[in-house]
């Protein structure tokens, strides 16, 4: 079959299979060079130790806090309740039945082991991944809200609203994100927490200042995306909606914003993908997100290659999943 006939049947350009082979060859060359580099530096790969970064079994030791006698051991299902009675005090401890290490009537001292068992716990990368997901979702939601409000303010006829939006967008886009995170945590965070402490309230954790910094940063870019999307809709549609008796808010809600959303969805997705990666900067304010958790794992195990390769793959899974979901939304909106 000729290249022309094959192109007509499959819809692929001429030489498609050849360039697929070129791509695969390039990938193999890259992997080969990477392997060669690791061999030259004599790096000892230890992939067998990487599962502990996701989950591990921790030894749980239940110890006595009083000096006295094990007065009773009562079984309730798969657990036992150990009661230690001392002089003028009594403590009870619950543990799995198979982990029991004492007998009834035994004399023990503070710190003696009553039971010992193992429990599965999430590893550093899983903890960091969960915090990264939580921060990204919260910052995305707040960023969208801030961006929509700021975008509508930007196209408002009210000069106070319009100039406020312009100052906000230019200020945020004109300064590095790391500087904004430091200001949110060390300046605004200190002021807010000191005020709360002065009035007898609890302090706000660092995570929320990290979320606020990312949300404000993303909101500035979302604001410009929303403004451009709204202004891309022909002005005649707004005039037609107003001629039907709709208010400005109704025309925006039912006519303009639904059409603008289709156009701004791809750049919004790109902004949110960047937000997930930007969350890696929050480690500078002691938030154990994914990148900080990976650095802690490297410090503890001295396995930089394995940990950072896993780190890159986890970020790739997050961003690729979001990208595929947005493409699915685009197809649904295109057919609706």
Write the pLDDT tens digit of every residue in 251-275.
877 788 878 888 888 888 888 889 9
pLDDT at residue 1 tops 70? no
pLDDT at residue 33 tops 80? yes
Write the pLDDT tens digit of every residue in 204-214.
999 999 999 99
What's the pLDDT score for residue 308? Answer: 92
**For the chain, percent of residues with pLDDT exceeding 90:** 38
What mean pLDDT comes out for the span 295-309? 89
Mapped to the 3 state alphabet, what secondary structure does 84-130 carry?
EEECCCEEEEEEEHHHECCCCCCEECCCCEEEEEEEEEECHHHHHHH
For residue 71, count CB atoms less than 10 angstroms from its CB and return exposed for 0-12, middle for 13-18, buried for 19 or more: middle
What's the pLDDT score for residue 7? Answer: 54
Predicted structure pTM score: 0.81
Q: For residues 91 and 110, what is the distance between their CA atoms, to the nearest angstrom?
A: 11
pLDDT at residue 295 tops 90? yes
| CATH 3.10.270.10 is held by the domain 124-335 | no
Residues of the chain with CATH 1.10.3720.10: 124-335
What's the pLDDT score for residue 10? Answer: 57
Write the pLDDT tens digit of every residue in 144-186.
999 989 988 988 888 999 999 999 999 999 999 999 999 999 9
The CATH classification number of 59-122 equals 2.40.50.100
Residues of the chain with CATH 2.40.50.100: 59-122
Q: For residues 298 and 226, what is the distance between their CA atoms, to the nearest angstrom?
A: 41
Mean pLDDT of the chain: 86
pLDDT at residue 12 tops 80? no
| Selected residue with higher pLDDT from 7 and 184 | 184
Residue 291: pLDDT band with limits 50, 70, 90: very high
pLDDT at residue 24 tops 80? yes
| Selected residue with higher pLDDT from 163 and 47 | 163
Write the pLDDT tens digit of every residue in 49-87.
888 899 988 888 888 888 888 888 888 888 888 888 888
């Amino acid at each position: 079959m000729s290249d022309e006939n094959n192109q007509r049947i499959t819809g692929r350009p001429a030489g498609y299979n050849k360039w697929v082979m070129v791509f695969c060859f390039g990938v193999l060359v890259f992997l080969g060079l990477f392997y060669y580099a690791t061999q030259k530096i004599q790096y000892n790969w230890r992939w067998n130790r990487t599962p502990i970064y996701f989950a591990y079994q921790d030894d749980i030791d239940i110890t006595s806090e009083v000096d006295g006698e094990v007065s009773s051991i009562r079984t309730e299902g798969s657990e036992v309740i150990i009661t230690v009675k001392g002089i003028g005090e009594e403590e009870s401890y619950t543990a799995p039945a198979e982990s029991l290490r004492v007998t009834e009537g035994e004399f023990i001292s503070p710190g003696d082991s009553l039971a010992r068992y193992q429990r599965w716990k999430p590893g550093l990368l899983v903890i960091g991944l969960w915090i990264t997901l939580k921060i990204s979702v919260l910052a995305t939601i707040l960023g969208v809200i801030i961006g929509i409000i700021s975008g509508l303010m930007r196209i408002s006829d009210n000069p106070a609203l319009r100039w406020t939006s312009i100052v906000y967008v230019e200020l945020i886009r004109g300064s590095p994100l790391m500087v904004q995170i430091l200001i949110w945590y060390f300046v605004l965070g200190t002021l807010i927490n000191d005020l709360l402490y002065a009035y007898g309230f609890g302090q706000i954790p660092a995570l929320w200042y990290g979320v606020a910094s990312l949300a404000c940063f993303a909101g500035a870019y979302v604001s410009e995306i929303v403004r451009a999307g709204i202004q891309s809709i022909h002005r005649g549609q707004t005039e037609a909606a107003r001629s039907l008796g709709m208010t400005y808010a109704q025309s925006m809600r039912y006519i303009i914003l639904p059409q603008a959303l289709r156009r701004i969805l791809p750049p919004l997705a790109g902004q949110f993908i960047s937000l997930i990666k930007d969350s890696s900067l929050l480690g500078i304010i002691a938030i154990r997100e994914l990148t900080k958790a990976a650095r802690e794992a490297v410090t503890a195990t001295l396995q930089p290659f394995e940990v950072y390769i896993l780190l890159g793959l986890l970020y790739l899974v997050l961003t690729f999943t979001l990208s595929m979901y947005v493409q699915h939304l685009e197809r649904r909106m295109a057919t609706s």
